[in-house]
């Protein structure tokens, strides 16, 4: 952080007490964090309005939010399209990240259930029962391992292309893929479509 930069109150950055504590500790240890780097950077005025597109090699196409309809992108995208696509891609990226995280968690869970991860155990049997109940699985008088196995069965899908079994998030993957496809070069000129 620059020496002349105003120090930000960590309580303005987060409502989470643990995160505030961590940020304070980082500050005390002289470790820079993302919030400080962001506040120490002058945003690009075009990027700040999300008026720049670099979805394809024709661009980057930079439009001017102060005169928004004076120009279109090379593929005829309007500023509305570019801003909508940029926003959609941010959401898309977040969805892909959470989906991937979910798949990794599920794969580890299944490894635990099937005895391939001896360093892990089911740490919260009550939560396991709650998840099972949410899936309509009966838990009365069943061993945790059986319940866990039935949870795997309910949410998983068989191994695909030798990559191991994974949670059935195919609908999320389809939505994520379609969003990138629709927002590609020349796609979705009308953001309402
Ligand atoms: S997709 Fe369109 S607006 Fe984006 S960089 Fe390519 S030509 Fe420019």
Enumerate domains of the chain plus CATH numbers.
Answer: 1-41 (no CATH), 50-182 (1.20.1270.30)
Residue-wise pLDDT for 145-170, tens only, equals 999 999 988 877 655 544 445 556 67
Picking from 165, 96, 167, 99, the residue whose alpha carbon sits closest to that of residue 131 is: 167
Read off φ and ψ for residue 14, nearest 5 degrees.
-150, 150
Span from the CA of 6 to the centroid of ligand 1 (angstroms): 38
Q: Quote the pTM value.
A: 0.72
The set of protein residues with a Cβ atom below 6 angstroms from ligand 1 is 53-56, 58-61, 73-75, 77, 82, 185
Residue-wise pLDDT for 71-129, tens only, equals 999 988 999 999 999 998 999 899 888 888 888 888 888 889 989 999 999 999 999 99
Read off φ and ψ for residue 60, nearest 5 degrees.
-65, 140
Whether 145 and 113 have beta carbons less than 8 Å apart is answered as yes
Span from the CA of 87 to the centroid of ligand 1 (angstroms): 15
Picking from 52, 105, 92, the residue whose alpha carbon sits closest to that of residue 174 is: 92
């Amino acid at each position: 952080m620059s020496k002349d930069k105003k120090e930000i109150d960590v309580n303005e950055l987060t409502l989470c007490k643990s995160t505030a504590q961590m940020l304070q500790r980082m500050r005390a240890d002289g470790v820079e964090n993302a919030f400080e780097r962001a506040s120490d950077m002058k945003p690009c005025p075009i990027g700040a309005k999300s008026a720049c597109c670099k979805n394809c090699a024709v661009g980057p196409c930079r439009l001017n939010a102060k005169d928004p309809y004076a120009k279109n992108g090379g593929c005829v995208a309007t500023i509305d399209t570019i801003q909508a696509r940029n926003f959609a891609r941010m959401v898309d990226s977040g969805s892909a990240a959470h989906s991937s995280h979910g798949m990794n968690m599920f794969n580890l869970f299944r490894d635990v259930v099937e005895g391939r991860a001896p360093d892990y155990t089911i740490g919260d049997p009550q939560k396991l029962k709650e998840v099972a109940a949410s899936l309509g699985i009966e838990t009365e008088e069943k061993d945790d391992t059986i319940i866990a196995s039935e949870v795997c069965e309910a949410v998983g899908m068989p191994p695909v292309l030798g990559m191991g079994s994974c949670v059935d998030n195919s609908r999320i993957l389809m939505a994520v893929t379609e969003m990138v496809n629709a927002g590609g070069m020349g796609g979705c000129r009308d953001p309402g479509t």
